[in-house]
Structures are given as C-alpha cells and as structure tokens.
Amino acid sequence: MKTSRTHTPLLNWQASSLIWCTNIKECRKEPESCYEEVDLCDLFISIISGRLGSSSLQSPYSVSQAELRRALSQGKQVYIFISKAVQTEYETYKVNKGNPHFVMCFADDPRVYDFLSELYDLPKNNAIFPFESSQDIVNILRKQWAGLFHRFLNRQGHEPLPKTTSHPTFEKIRSLLSLPFGVHFATREELSGLLSSFGFASG
C-alpha cells in the first residue's frame, strides 16, 4: 500500500510531494503508476514489515522494493523504517542463511531479508530506523526534519531574505513542508513561526 496526498498520521497536513511506501498491503495502483509517483516525490518514506508484497517485473523485487530502489537511484531523500521484529530476525537469518531447517517467524519470504542486506550495504543515502509503532515513525521524522530545516537556515547565513513572492526559496519551503498552499515570509522570525506551527524547531 502506498499513500500520497491523503495520509494523516504525521503532522495533520496533506503531502503533495511525499510518498509513504509500505509492504504491509499490496499497492492498489498499477505498478507503473507507482513508479511515476516516485519520480514526482521530493521525500520517500519506506516502511518495511515482514511481508514481501506484490511481485514486480523487476525480479526478484516486489513492487514496494522496486519503488524504493528507484527512489534511491534518483538520489531522493529517503527514510527507511524497519519493523524491530523483522530487524531482529534478520540478524538470525544472516547466520542461518542457506540452512534448510531455519524457520522464519516474522517474514513470509526470504527475499525480505535479502533486500534488507542490500539496503544495509548501500554506501550512502542509508537512513534506516527500527520502529515498533507508528508513533516511533512520527517522532523520528520530526527530529530528522527539524535537523533538515536547521541546516537550511544555517546555510542562509546573513544573506537577506528574498523580497519577491516568486523566489524559489518559498517554493522549496512549501515543498519540504508538503503544503497545498503557497508560503511567504519577510523576516526570519516569520519563518521560524511557520516552522514552529508545524512542529519543527528552527534552531
């Protein structure tokens, strides 16, 4: 199941350029439509449980796995969340890989763990977090995005804020916050207030 533009669990605002990708249920869209959504997103969040999900034409990957690989190949900002139970059993799987007597309790297919091995071997863009509940995901993303905005503000230094409403900075902030409406601010205090209203510390 992949949700874009209609999810509510994060900060109670719609996401126009954010994709949640999870293999808990099958994607209801045609696979190619899923991949097109990946191309359009700015942030990609992958939630990995023990279910492989729907098979894709990119064997041996599922649709969800293929989407994540596509996002990584395009250099998207990716956040990967793995069920703690699956992550724990993955360590046991590595030791017992190839053992015909090993029985998996938290994954329905060994390709789930093979894909985790591929993710952990990534040289970069490898933000992987274990989770037990949806609230864990919310808390981690709040902290991650607060740091993202803090770095953005630091890069601004003492440069004057843009004075035109069409400046790309405003569109970048709108995109990062996934707001369905435009934003404008004239001072850093106004920017800090905007970020704070959505639960982010501006630093």
Model pTM above 0.75:
no
SS3 label, residue 44: strand
DSSP state of 130: E
SS3 label, residue 3: strand
Percent of the chain with pLDDT over 90: 27
- Which string of b and e fits 26-47 if b means at least 16 CB within 10 Å? ebeeebeebbebbeebebbbbb
* Ramachandran sector of residue 162 (left: φ over 0; alpha: ψ -120 to 50; beta: rest): beta
Range with the lowest mean pLDDT among 30-39, 70-79, 86-95, 115-124? 30-39
Query: Average pLDDT over the chain, rounded to whole?
Result: 75
When pLDDT is cut at 50, 70 and 90, the band that residue 112 belongs to is: very high
Chain segment 181-195, per-residue pLDDT in tens: 677 666 677 777 777
pLDDT of residue 145: 83
Chain segment 63-104, per-residue pLDDT in tens: 889 999 999 999 888 899 999 999 999 999 999 988 889 999
Q: Which residue has the tokens 């994060």?
A: 10
Compute how many other C-beta atoms are within 10 angstroms of the C-beta atom of residue 102: 12
Sign, CA dihedral 177-172-67-104, equals: negative
Q: Contact 98/62 with Cβ under 8 angstroms?
A: no
**How is the chain split into domains, by residue range?**
2-132, 144-197
When pLDDT is cut at 50, 70 and 90, the band that residue 12 belongs to is: very low
When pLDDT is cut at 50, 70 and 90, the band that residue 201 belongs to is: low
Averaged pLDDT, 10-21: 40
Q: Which amino acid is at 52?
A: L
